[in-house]
Amino acid sequence: MTPARFSLILQALERRRATGLGPTHGPDHWRRVAAYGLELNTAEGTGHQDLALLFALFHDAGRANDHRDPLHGARGAKRAERYRRRGWFRASRATMRLLDYACRYHTQGWLDAPGAVQVCWDADRLDLWRVGTRPDPSRLCTRAARRIAHGFTSEGRTWVRDPGPARAVQEAAEDFWRKTARAVRAPERS
């Protein structure tokens, strides 16, 4: 999946949301989860870049509100399948199975899963700083994510007050998407 395709799906999801999600679970969060997911996917060598991007797009896209909504992961998985069927993206059956599992159970706090799913869950958990919670390295699945989380704590100041790491990830993600988004004019249909 190209960054341009990611942006198109993100915009479509954003338009179709029945209720507005704030910065906690909305598109800015999805972009950062994608940036973390790409980084972790490379560091861990899991070879599932598309899965990381699809998870970023859909794992919270089924949320009805920013508060308690325990079934939003399952709804997000179903929405991903609908988008695939309509031709918004292509993915193998194996990728869709992993995406379904990753979305459905991303709020359980589990550590044990296939490596590509662990990358997805860690990407979401690393973005906990947005709600003032430091990602706990013992609750992260991958070595690469634990390294990033330890980096947050070794800033010398509390990382929550120091937006440096968060801002760097956000800027890297925005730069990544911007570079190719302008090349695409219409969605690919399969």
Q: Which is nearer to Fe ion, 107 or 180 (CB)?
A: 107
- The answer to whether 96 and 82 have CB atoms below 8 angstroms apart is no
Least distance to Fe ion from the beta carbon of 27, Å?
11
Least distance to Fe ion from the beta carbon of 189, Å?
28
Q: Which is nearer to Fe ion, 50 or 60 (CB)?
A: 60
- Sequence-ordered alpha helix ranges (H) in the chain: 3-16, 27-44, 49-58, 72-85, 93-104, 115-126, 143-153, 164-181
Question: For Fe ion, how many residues bind (rule: CB under 5 A)?
Answer: 2
C-alpha distances in angstroms, 123 versus 35, 67, 183, 188?
A: 8, 20, 27, 27
Nearest CA to 137 out of 111, 163, 169 is that of 111
Q: Is residue 124 involved in binding Fe ion (CB under 5 A)? A: yes
Q: Is residue 44 involved in binding Fe ion (CB under 5 A)? A: no
Q: Is residue 50 involved in binding Fe ion (CB under 5 A)? A: no
Between residue 56 and residue 75, which ones bind Fe ion under the rule CB under 5 A? 60
The contact set with Fe ion (CB under 5 A) reads 60, 124
